[in-house]
Structure 1
């Protein structure tokens, strides 16, 4: 995803799929469509992480990237410079100094599909970690994270860009071979709780099988994700009751649907597409019943009211990315940008209820670090459901993790969350945050990432620091 200020982290952003959303879909028309039963698996298999062909780097200019990619090229990329960029001390930087890139990755085994990405270089050490960020949806754009969470800048109402002092920036490994030895981390939120475990398994498998360039894969982090639907949907009534969203009578009524949901999910795991579609509608009846009782509550942050289709106003982002000068700078031609695609959302519903926790234990056994973090006020991917699947996961360190004490996660001497950790597994409940932790608690999120990638997440306290010191010491 993206990131800001002088934080010396390299970020390779894939704009694919974003915020877990609550869209209404006509089931009858969906069944008539052709849903590949293994879409997610095909996507992962088709993603050649270490392309052997040469890449095509476009040297400046406003020529659309799509028209620059010759046949057989895996990647086409160009350095970019956003128009209307203003901010503290950053004015006057040349594009070469900023190291901002935009590009397309050609997806194999598809009908000429391409994946757009941003890549923001570190402004400090060449040894800084490489971090990829994926948002959820399914079917939304990771630009939501770039401009509203942990990207290098945010969008002002006058369509100018303002530097984000808590951004996560400051690659492909064939395009940028100088990064191949850097530590590599996969991060994201929401429905990326499905993508990230699959992506992590594929990278680790490629390394073990000596496929292409070795990637120095160290760990993955999921924020307020959907990973194990059976346990997470069961937690909905409990979370809603504990937070006063529903009454005891409503809780008793809604909870009767939980066993039916659990059975539907089991059938999804064994019986393919139709059962997975059925489980989506059966189980989301639980969530929809809670929302009927909740009224206009924002299910991404129960402290707020829901406004618009995504419960937040992200309209500035769509306006900005559809400005002609911005599209020319990115080299995307006349393609219109949309925050979320209903077409992609619907096509991925067959994958919704699949359990992606299944492949995680093998990664932990091989020493791959995993951080699950969750803002405490998110309903749709709440901390309670995430905590339950993390604690229930069977691996060699399960008993030790379960019995580990909770410790305060402190930032500037104040408790910013509650942490539990053992070996490669960590779970962090973040205070005063909803679904989008880097947006609600940007400084705590940056501190979390810094400590985690440095192996210091369990440090009980952190030295009080201003933003400049925080990014400088990373």
Structure 2
């Protein structure tokens, strides 16, 4: 099996810089009755094909939207959907949203969490406008990655978090070239769940690429990263597998296991899961890390999660209907797919991309050190968690943030959690030091913006504005 260095070499080859003598080209084409604008980006050898103002989801008068594909190589088509800011789009920052999985579509975030439209309070077959959409304050870009996820289709060479990052950088380079008005805007990366892997690595990769651009090592456009936000993230399995036990025994809502069961699970963690994870850390091989992931799942995560509760909201039984999955049927409607320029049937979380990550043991690898490096770099970082989520629970997230290494670590860890209010109403607790903030959100499951949309918009706005969290 290829090592990480070999995989990166393949990715780099697939994203090779074209001759500077080449020029960008724009044209138009009709495919299956749909009109596409086509932009060929010389610097990356990639191509954007998109439709304009489909009228789907965002119906606010005067707010532009674009959706379609970035073709990054031979039969490699990554779907994106961009929404202009509802307010001051010519000066508003740009934010990228990525859902996790790995291998889950960012249409989840768009329709269930923070996008311009939602089914959360719409019982019908079409969505309604979301008054708390994040494009109230930012130009929002949603991307289905890796290829094979959501509406993306074609050859998928991504097998890990590290090999995924260059493709998203490539998309941003082509996006800036087609839409140069957004080039110098402050840029924020926001993600969740497996975003505990994606967020630190992608932010670190963007920063390293920016450095290479600045000294002329590579040709490209600076991505002015100023903020990173990750809610209910999966960062470090050593800390977070143990947190499954702690949180299942003691959380704000209901115990899922007894003290005796907790002791048994802890024994399994110490005797099997932790040693396997340590082997993954020391060897770094795909087989060791895949074995660690399987061991910890079989001994801890799997058995606990068989109880009758929703792993994304332990207050509810399994198969909880909130947030509703109505949007999937909507996106699979032929008229909707045609309008937004989608060329394949929508798949929310297909198996193929996930299995490639599983085969490299990516889930069992820690991105805590990378997260520390990103915090040290000086961008604004928000780590937040809904307190009813089990799968990436707040106990595990708080164990992770206590281990982040940065100049203000001691002050951050010594600071108490204090009420976080929105217009005087408490919605959680938080603390902040330096450029790092942590927010524990009350009465929220895995998808925090779906449960607490007003609070989520405030936290997003403050972070993207390069401000520490503060109550209002």
Which range, TM-score by smaller chain?
Answer: 0.7 to 0.9
Change (3 A) 1:432 1:157: closer
Q: 1:291 deviation in Å? A: 1.9
Computed over aligned residues only, the root mean square deviation of the Cα atoms, in angstroms, reads: 2.9
Question: 2:54 matched to which residue of 1?
Answer: 81
Q: 1:163 aligns with which of 129, 146, 154?
A: 129
Deviations 1:405-462 (A, max 9, x none): 3222101211111111111111111111010000010111001111222244432x31
Change (3 A) 1:205 1:113: same
C-alpha contact 1:300 1:435 (8 A) present in aligned 2: yes
Q: 1:368 aligns with which of 379, 383, 389?
A: 379
CA distance in 1, matches of 2:204, 2:427: 31
CA distance in 1, matches of 2:16, 2:30: 25
Q: 1:336 aligns with which of 336, 345, 348?
A: 345
Change (3 A) 1:398 1:268: same
Question: 1:268 matched to which residue of 2?
Answer: 280
Change (3 A) 1:253 1:58: farther
Question: 1:466 matched to which residue of 2?
Answer: none
C-alpha contact 2:40 2:48 (8 A) present in aligned 1: no
Correspondence list, 1:229-378, <5 A: 229-243=237-251, 244-259=255-270, 260-269=272-281, 270-284=283-297, 285-292=299-306, 295-307=307-319, 314-333=324-343, 335-349=344-358, 350-378=361-389
Correspondence list, 1:34-45, <5 A: none
CA distance in 2, matches of 1:429, 1:377: 10
C-alpha contact 2:380 2:467 (8 A) present in aligned 1: no
Q: 1:101 aligns with which of 47, 50, 66?
A: 66
Question: 2:221 matched to which residue of 1?
Answer: 213
Asked which structure has the greater RCO (Cα within 8 Å, sep 6+), the reply is: 1
C-alpha contact 1:65 1:104 (8 A) present in aligned 2: no
Range moving further from structure 2, 282-291 or 249-258? 282-291
C-alpha contact 1:55 1:73 (8 A) present in aligned 2: no
Q: 1:396 deviation in Å? A: 2.6
CA distance in 1, matches of 2:265, 2:109: 33
CA distance in 1, matches of 2:367, 2:260: 33
Structure 1 residue runs of 5 or longer lacking an equivalent are 1-33, 463-474
Structure 2 residue runs of 5 or longer lacking an equivalent are 137-171
Deviations 1:209-261 (A, max 9, x none): 22411121102110001011111111111111003110001001111121221
C-alpha contact 1:79 1:102 (8 A) present in aligned 2: yes
Change (3 A) 1:437 1:58: farther
Q: Secondary structure at the match of 1:256?
A: helix
Change (3 A) 1:49 1:423: farther
Change (3 A) 1:204 1:279: same
Q: 1:121 aligns with which of 84, 100, 110?
A: 84
Q: 1:320 deviation in Å? A: 1.1
Q: 1:303 deviation in Å? A: 0.6
Change (3 A) 1:49 1:314: farther
Deviations 1:248-297 (A, max 9, x none): 010011111212212212222324111111111111121112123xx220
CA distance in 2, matches of 1:44, 1:228: 25
Q: 1:82 deviation in Å? A: 3.2
Q: Secondary structure at the match of 2:364?
A: coil
Change (3 A) 1:70 1:446: closer
C-alpha contact 2:54 2:339 (8 A) present in aligned 1: yes
CA distance in 2, matches of 1:81, 1:433: 32
Normalising by structure 2, we get a TM-score of 0.80
Q: Secondary structure at the match of 1:159?
A: coil
* Correspondence 1:458 to 2:463: no
Q: 1:144 deviation in Å? A: 1.1
CA distance in 1, matches of 2:111, 2:14: 26
Q: Secondary structure at the match of 1:224?
A: strand
Q: Secondary structure at the match of 2:223?
A: coil
Deviations 1:295-329 (A, max 9, x none): 22011111111118xx7575422211121111111
Aligned residue pairs total 413
Normalising by structure 1, we get a TM-score of 0.80
Correspondence list, 1:426-465, <5 A: 426-459=437-470, 461-462=471-472
C-alpha contact 2:112 2:323 (8 A) present in aligned 1: no
CA distance in 2, matches of 1:40, 1:150: 34
CA distance in 1, matches of 2:182, 2:422: 30
Q: 1:391 deviation in Å? A: 0.7
Change (3 A) 1:320 1:49: farther
Correspondence list, 1:124-143, <5 A: 124-125=87-88, 126-143=90-107
CA distance in 1, matches of 2:2, 2:423: 49
